[in-house]
Chains A and B, each alone.
Chain A
Amino acid sequence: MIYDVIIVGAGSNGSTAAYFLAKRGFKTLLVESSRATGDKCQGATEHVPGVIFANRPELVKLMLTAIKKIPHLNPGDLGTATAYYYVNKENEVVFKSCAVAPGKTGNEESYGVHNQDFVRSLVEEAEKAGAKLKTGTTVVDVIREGDVIKGVVTEGGEEIRAQLTIAADGRISTIAKKVGLLKKWDINVCCYQYGEAWKFRSEEEMFYYVERARHMFFGSTLTPPRPWGACTMSPRPGGIVTVNAPTSWTPLSSMVSAKMNARTVYIQNLYKIMEVKRMLSPCEGFPDRPIQRQSTFMPGPPLKKPYMAGLIICGDAGAIGGICGAGERAAHFVTPLLEKGDVSEEALSGFNTARLPERLRGFANITDKKFGKNKPTVELSEVSPTRIVHWSTGAGYMEKYNCSVDEMVENMRLAAVPHVMGSPSPKKCGEFGYIEMGAWLIAIKINHLMNLYGPILQDPAMFPQILKWVQKNQQFFNEKKVFDHPF
């Protein structure tokens, strides 16, 4: 059987693409290497599809449908209280604060779910829409006829043919490497994440030890040289808590030069925090060791060329991250081409921009003139935390408010406080809260997304400005400021 589309990799983007393509009537095959879908998925995400994909109702509907079908999603479990921990250079917890309770972000539903459950649910939707799923099958090569990719070859030597192949096979993309579009990711821009899952004897014990904490932010010096790291803790029914990304956005190269991996940093940080609690209380219920480790990296800037005749590279494989969005964009882009039957390199070249979120597409031609200093800043009191994080991509923010980098930085610093810290008063939340949170949003997100979208945002006027701002305040961030000790 010849398929219209083969999608390699049933992750969030692959299965989203499969859903939309199958729904539009294309013969779609989704190939996955693990025995069951979701086996290799890790971590948890807070989804607010209504905000993130505000102009794509179909995708919002799909995501919400998938999320709501997750069997053990216990509303509130992953989406209740949020606590922020700040750790200073000596790894002491110096400040803890509660933030707004999720459940709703503005007018939109928000859910924290495990990516594994989410992907499984999403694949079911894709299958229901008509996509065929083939698990336990690793793709090792592509079928080449001249310069055209005509399908894939599995490890058993089976050839599966299709008009178009979509490679959504993750960061270490076999296909992108095989066809020569990916040589090797840059060690300086790949960021590292590490996580663990802990099993407590009961949910009560879990909450006792992790205190319903969902987000923790580690202070300066712990993730050099990008001095801020964050991590998510996601309690899950049955007393299991998964902890992710304590060293997020730290380039691999800095880990290597500091002679430590994300796990050592993680142990220094998280274990310390948990240890405090354990030492102060009977430790029977505190597990000896994590039941699971997980590790990943975030690839560098998007692939220069994510397409060739009969093939496009989608999602993490092409370093356009994000959950579901990249898959939907790919499906949307290829639909008219498949209808015409034109999968030539020329026709697919439009994917270079189509793969990007709309708000980033116009940024290849950023100029200083466009973002003049005299533009008024805009009141951001209506901004939700999710939006802040979302807009802290920088480019989207500046586009929306037509402001300069400095103005954006200032606005975000101010806007971060009432929403994230729960109080607009500097007296209440402390200078530390203001600065650290503002800096976190700016440094982490912008640095990271600057890394990701470097080729697009590489306006020489922008990046140095942000770096300069961060450097200017570096000393201040590093000063030890002790506030309310949580324990």
Chain B
Amino acid sequence: MSKWIPVTEYFIEIDSEKCTGCGNCVVICGGEVFEMKEKKAVVARIEGCLECGNCEVVCMADAIRFHIPKGGTGIVYECG
């Protein structure tokens, strides 16, 4: 099982003012991290994050910032 070491601060930032609610992040995320709430994307399940960074790339409004999580936190792949 891949592990998830809790991240002490959010490494995915969504600027809800910029967010246009296009839903690209919800579509592309393989870890089902995002949800739409009141036509804005929110991080609903951070522990599902696979740290691929696709959300930042697909955000046409430039509202998502993906940072590398704090040292030693985040996903740990155990099966290669």
Interface set of A (CB-CB < 8 Å, partner B) = 33-36, 39-44, 114-117, 135-140, 154-155, 169, 171-172, 174, 184-185, 187, 190, 192, 194, 197, 199, 234, 236, 240, 242, 252-253, 255-256, 259-263, 291-297
Contacts and interface: CB of A to CB of B under 8 A. Distances in A.
Contacts of A137: 71
A294 B70 contact: no
Given A138-B71, A194-B30, A256-B24, 14 more contacts: A34-B71, A39-B77, A42-B77, A42-B80, A43-B80, A137-B71, A172-B66, A174-B68, A190-B57, A192-B54, A252-B54, A293-B30, A293-B50, A294-B50
19 contacts: A34-B74, A35-B71, A35-B72, A36-B76, A40-B77, A44-B80, A138-B68, A140-B67, A171-B52, A172-B56, A194-B30, A197-B79, A197-B80, A242-B79, A252-B58, A295-B29, A295-B31, A296-B50, A297-B57
B71 A292 contact: no
Contact of B70 (A41, A44, A155, A261): A155
B58 A256 contact: yes
A342 B22 CA distance: 48
B62 A297 contact: no
B69 interface: yes
B71 A184 contact: no
B21 interface: no
B68 A295 contact: no
Given A171-B53, A172-B66, A291 B30 contact: no
A138 B52 contact: no
B3 to A, nearest CB: 9
A169 B71 CA distance: 13
A255 B52 CA distance: 15
Nearest to A173: B68
A262 B76 contact: no
Contacts of B31: 293, 295
Contact of A242 (B68, B69, B72, B80): B80
A115 B58 contact: no
B35 interface: no
B75 interface: yes
Contacts of B1: 291-292
Interface centre among B5, B27, B28, B60 (most CB of A within 10 A): B28
A291 B2 contact: yes
Contact of A256 (B28, B53, B56, B77): B28
A184 B30 contact: no
Contacts of B78: 292
B18 to A, nearest CB: 13
Interface of B: 1-2, 5, 24, 27-31, 50-54, 56-58, 60, 62, 66-72, 74-80
Contact of A255 (B27, B66, B69): B27
Nearest to A139: B68
B interface, over-half SS:
loop
A41 B52 CA distance: 11
Nearest to A240: B79
A120 to B, nearest CB: 10
Nearest to B66: A172
Interface centre among B24, B30, B67, B76 (most CB of A within 10 A): B30
Contacts of A154: 71
A176 B72 CA distance: 21
A109 to B, nearest CB: 20
Contacts of A114: 79-80
B50 to A, nearest CB: 4
A39 B62 CA distance: 29
Given A41-B80, A116-B80, A169-B68, A296 B52 contact: yes
B27 A261 contact: yes
A252 B66 contact: no
B77 A292 contact: yes
Contacts of A294: 2, 50, 77
A155 B27 contact: no
Contacts of B56: 172, 184
Interface centre among B50, B56, B78 (most CB of A within 10 A): B50
A111 to B, nearest CB: 14
A295 B55 CA distance: 11
Contacts of B27: 255-256, 259-261
A260 B70 CA distance: 30
A313 to B, nearest CB: 15
A255 B79 CA distance: 26
B72 A34 contact: yes
A296 B31 CA distance: 11
Contacts of A197: 2, 79-80
Nearest to A193: B52
A155 B57 CA distance: 23
Contacts of B76: 34-36, 39-40
A47 B62 CA distance: 38
